[in-house]
Amino acid sequence: MMLLPRIAFVILIVVGLRGGDFGTGRALLFVAVWILALVGFPLLGWSGYAGIPVEVVLDIILILTVFGGDIRIR
């Protein structure tokens, strides 16, 4: 499995909770979706890599939530 999206997910959850960008309920919702993708796809018989796009989308949502919409991309 790819490790970078998982590390980014955990860091963004911690930063969001400490910075007050979202509460415990929203963090638990993100973690629940993440666990469903991590466990659910292999249980369905799909590759474990099928959950990576879900993790990446969660990371993008967390980045926009934590850092706001003012992200400069060059």
| Predicted TM-score of the model (pTM) | 0.78
SS3 29: helix
Q: Cα angle at 39 between 24 and 10, to 5 degrees?
A: 40
Nearest C-alpha neighbor of 15 from the set 56, 65, 72? 65
Render pLDDT for 9-64 as a digit per residue (tens, 0 to 9). Answer: 899 899 989 988 888 999 999 999 999 988 888 888 888 788 888 888 888 888 88
What is the signed CA dihedral for 5, 11, 62, 17, rounded to 10 degrees? Answer: 160
